[in-house]
Chains A and B, each alone.
Chain A
């Protein structure tokens, strides 16, 4: 169709000073973390590994399609190491080239999903120290996500205290694939601490977790698993609303990361409809779910859904609210969204400013 082709060829040069809400810093080698771990845990990992709820000790359960666990072919640093591991190359290849004013790091190294809870806490501490030493210390454009053990709230709170007031960390990071839905009371202590530290909680899609990736069991292929990332974020949003978490913590900010966003409007409509019908079950939920969601939840955009009629995404943005979306690239992963091409439909200037810069600046208090 001619119109579609024309829309797809629209290049929208973005020179706003972008905030990229999903950049993955990577270790040069998996052993890099050992440098930040006490001797006891180095020995433990050498003997027993860092076990998590997945079939393989280190490999991701659903193999990706490109070398390096699914990374952009052009993101391999010329001086060696895997994509995302070389700060200088990340600067020239991504931050400078795309005019990234701020980038929010999302370390995917385990810790929060390590089964041994003491090891998990030590790994979270190590990953946070590694972010400080290798990334957010040397490069002020980059901001850290404070990795914590959501299943062990005391350890998580201790980690928050350790970095209290350090504005290099701009959010608390936990995976959406938790043992129980994230709104349940076992997580309230952690949520209360995040609110107290005035930090949003960012939940980034995870490649494995303690439960099947669908309610009907394990899917077979990566193409299914990749889609199912959105399920985990839907569960987070529904659970926080229905458990009354937003009533209890009226200043809580939640960021749903790397799940796309076109699923949000239908989820809000469905929640509202069936809450209205069954609200006697959840008397602590005082208002329609969509009202809480509009006030408390933000979404990073990647992977931007691509309707066949590009302009349909504008309806989606209108239904969610342009003030809720925060641009992200997912650099250096294969499904990276380029700021110049991510949106196939033309956004008006006010919307572009909100999505590419201003929403994230406000949520993360960047300046």
Chain B
């Protein structure tokens, strides 16, 4: 079935994807000026990154054929990776600014959208190469996307191979207020709460930058306790295990005790698994808290204070009344952040707000919660 919004584009204007959208095609959401907390510009290849690195690395990248670093978590042709009507004529989904502007920013009437670049720089093993690629991606995003479209903000991508180098990259960019978050992947070498990573959190907290954890992995370990699943769909569904492990780790290692101002945003994580985690984690904490005596609050309370989640995908039950119940079980109205996950295919047509999300939460999810989570967006609003 062809999504409704696609029909509307063709009916209204037709022609090239990048110019099809007029103001009349904008969808009516309950509130104007939503903040999209997950949008994916695609790096077309390392070629575009070369101007943002020195000669030594330009040579190395070309001589060693360091290219095509798309993550295995998101094969560009997979249904997940690009909604049919959001794909481009040429290049990977998300590689065309004009199209992204028309289909996401204009169409949904967004005031801001946060770019989460998923190119595989974060997954390389060589810490210097990782540093150079991440740095180049950040500078490329600033020049090719943020300079050209003021509604776009971005996450800082960092390599986790050396947290001191990651902290340096955060310090380097912290003065550019268009960078609003630090981005890492859900499955890496070690659980993210480990003290090894704390230099990153020190820098992030100092500059008011949340840590965004996005679905996807560095594939340093089998993604499950029983090895590698056969299919992408299993791998994707199983990302919740990675997100869960990171929450366990952040809380149990005492990251929020050491960095009380730190926020963690789970991006493209699904939402409905979280209440059951909070119940089980809190029960376990009551039983074995002497093991982690620095954790002085119930984990559910810590998670509600420090953790946020984007709403695409929600992974809700089929019945809208049940969606309302499971969202209510989060126990906080402050946790959910609006997102389209453009150009990933999470919903059809204009159903970016999953049916069953209570109307009283719409404005909070679309505007208030993102502003509270990303303090730098408030500056942009003023």
Q: Which residues of A contact B (CB under 8 A)?
A: 65, 176-182, 184, 209-224, 226-228, 230-232, 234-236, 238-239, 242-243, 260, 262-263, 265-267, 269-275, 277-282, 303, 305-309, 312, 315-316, 319, 334-335
Q: Is A179's CB under 8 angstroms from B227's CB?
A: yes
Q: How far is the CA of A65 from the CA of B288 in the complex (A)?
A: 7
Instruction: Report B258 CB to chain A, min CB distance, Å.
Output: 15
Known A-B contacts A227-B280, A263-B276, A307-B279; the reply to A235 vs B233 at CB < 8 A is no
Q: Which of B221, B226, B283, B326 contacts A217 (CB 8 A)?
A: B221
Most chain A beta-carbon contacts within 10 A, residue among B186, B224, B228, B331: B224
Q: Is B253's CB under 8 angstroms from A334's CB?
A: no
B248 CB contacts on chain A under 8 angstroms:
214, 219, 223-224, 227-228
Q: Is B118 an interface residue (CB 8 A)?
A: no
B236 CB contacts on chain A under 8 angstroms:
274, 278
Q: Which of A221, A243, A278 contacts B291 (CB 8 A)?
A: A221
Known A-B contacts A181-B224, A215-B238, A235-B238; the reply to A312 vs B315 at CB < 8 A is no
Known A-B contacts A224-B249, A265-B317, A306-B283; the reply to A209 vs B290 at CB < 8 A is no
Known A-B contacts A215-B217, A220-B249; the reply to A274 vs B191 at CB < 8 A is no
Q: Is B132 an interface residue (CB 8 A)?
A: no
Q: Is B273's CB under 8 angstroms from A270's CB?
A: yes
Most chain A beta-carbon contacts within 10 A, residue among B79, B248, B252, B313: B248
27 contacting pairs across A/B (C-beta < 8 A)? A65-B287, A176-B225, A180-B228, A181-B229, A210-B227, A215-B187, A215-B238, A215-B241, A217-B189, A219-B191, A226-B288, A228-B245, A228-B248, A235-B224, A235-B226, A236-B226, A239-B234, A242-B234, A243-B230, A262-B275, A262-B276, A265-B272, A269-B272, A269-B316, A269-B318, A278-B231, A282-B233
Q: Is B288's CB under 8 angstroms from A281's CB?
A: no
Q: How far is the CA of A245 from the CA of B351 in the complex (A)?
A: 34
Q: Is A308's CB under 8 angstroms from B331's CB?
A: yes
- From 99 to 122 in chain B, residues with beta carbon under 8 angstroms from any chain A beta carbon are none
Instruction: Report B326 CB to chain A, min CB distance, Å.
Output: 8
Q: Is B238's CB under 8 angstroms from A234's CB?
A: yes
A309 CB contacts on chain B under 8 angstroms:
329
Most chain B beta-carbon contacts within 10 A, residue among A181, A273, A319, A335: A181
Q: Is B270 an interface residue (CB 8 A)?
A: yes
Closest to A179 in B: B227
Q: Is B148 an interface residue (CB 8 A)?
A: no
Q: Is B194 an interface residue (CB 8 A)?
A: yes
Instruction: Report B168 CB to chain A, min CB distance, Å.
Output: 23
Q: Is B60 an interface residue (CB 8 A)?
A: no
B203 CB contacts on chain A under 8 angstroms:
none
Q: Is B317's CB under 8 angstroms from A216's CB?
A: no
B313 CB contacts on chain A under 8 angstroms:
270, 273-274
B72 CB contacts on chain A under 8 angstroms:
none
Q: Is B223 an interface residue (CB 8 A)?
A: yes
Q: Is A277's CB under 8 angstroms from B238's CB?
A: no
Closest to A334 in B: B287
Closest to B280 in A: A305
Q: How far is the CA of A308 from the CA of B299 in the complex (A)?
A: 12
Q: Is A242's CB under 8 angstroms from B233's CB?
A: yes
Closest to A277 in B: B79
Q: How far is the CA of A224 from the CA of B228 in the complex (A)?
A: 21
Q: Is B182 an interface residue (CB 8 A)?
A: no
Q: Which of B277, B283, B317, B345 contacts A303 (CB 8 A)?
A: B283
Q: Which of B194, B242, B300 contacts A308 (CB 8 A)?
A: B300
7 closest A-B pairs by beta carbon, nearest first, are A214-B245, A262-B276, A215-B223, A266-B272, A235-B224, A266-B273, A215-B187
Q: Is B325 an interface residue (CB 8 A)?
A: yes
Q: How far is the CA of A113 from the CA of B292 in the complex (A)?
A: 29
Q: Is B280's CB under 8 angstroms from A179's CB?
A: no
Other A-B contacts than A216-B186, A235-B238, 11 sampled, CB-CB below 8 A, are A176-B226, A223-B252, A228-B245, A231-B244, A235-B241, A263-B277, A263-B280, A270-B313, A277-B345, A278-B231, A281-B233
Instruction: Report A343 CB to chain B, min CB distance, Å.
Output: 13
Closest to A265 in B: B317
B273 CB contacts on chain A under 8 angstroms:
263, 266-267, 270
Q: Is A270's CB under 8 angstroms from B227's CB?
A: no
- From 180 to 227 in chain B, residues with beta carbon under 8 angstroms from any chain A beta carbon are 186-194, 217, 220-227
Instruction: Report A241 CB to chain B, min CB distance, Å.
Output: 9
Q: Is B329's CB under 8 angstroms from A307's CB?
A: yes
Instruction: Report A63 CB to chain B, min CB distance, Å.
Output: 9
Closest to A307 in B: B279
Q: How far is the CA of A267 from the CA of B273 in the complex (A)?
A: 7
Q: How far is the CA of A181 from the CA of B235 in the complex (A)?
A: 11
Q: How far is the CA of A265 from the CA of B282 in the complex (A)?
A: 19
A242 CB contacts on chain B under 8 angstroms:
229-231, 233-234
Q: Is B155 an interface residue (CB 8 A)?
A: no
Q: Is B245's CB under 8 angstroms from A223's CB?
A: no
Q: Is B345's CB under 8 angstroms from A239's CB?
A: no
Q: How far is the CA of A275 from the CA of B234 in the complex (A)?
A: 9
Q: Is A211's CB under 8 angstroms from B226's CB?
A: yes
Q: How far is the CA of A270 from the CA of B227 in the complex (A)?
A: 20
Q: How far is the CA of A242 from the CA of B331 in the complex (A)?
A: 33
Q: How far is the CA of A273 from the CA of B313 in the complex (A)?
A: 9
Known A-B contacts A65-B291, A179-B226, A232-B226; the reply to A217 vs B233 at CB < 8 A is no
Q: Is B373 an interface residue (CB 8 A)?
A: no
Q: Is A235's CB under 8 angstroms from B225's CB?
A: yes
Known A-B contacts A181-B224, A265-B317, A319-B322; the reply to A214 vs B242 at CB < 8 A is yes
Q: Which of A217, A238, A312 contacts B329 (CB 8 A)?
A: A312
Q: How far is the CA of A6 from the CA of B254 in the complex (A)?
A: 33
Q: How far is the CA of A177 from the CA of B190 in the complex (A)?
A: 19
Q: How far is the CA of A185 from the CA of B378 in the complex (A)?
A: 54
Known A-B contacts A179-B226, A235-B238, A242-B234; the reply to A223 vs B284 at CB < 8 A is yes
B246 CB contacts on chain A under 8 angstroms:
216
B322 CB contacts on chain A under 8 angstroms:
315, 319
Q: Which of B224, B252, B300, B317 contacts A215 (CB 8 A)?
A: B224
A279 CB contacts on chain B under 8 angstroms:
233
B331 CB contacts on chain A under 8 angstroms:
308
Q: Is B281 an interface residue (CB 8 A)?
A: yes
Q: Is B253's CB under 8 angstroms from A220's CB?
A: yes
Instruction: Report A262 CB to chain B, min CB distance, Å.
Output: 4
Q: Is B226's CB under 8 angstroms from A209's CB?
A: yes
Q: How far is the CA of A177 from the CA of B224 in the complex (A)?
A: 9
Closest to B83 in A: A277
Q: How far is the CA of A280 from the CA of B237 in the complex (A)?
A: 16
A315 CB contacts on chain B under 8 angstroms:
322, 325-326, 329
Q: Is B78 an interface residue (CB 8 A)?
A: yes
Q: Is B317's CB under 8 angstroms from A319's CB?
A: yes
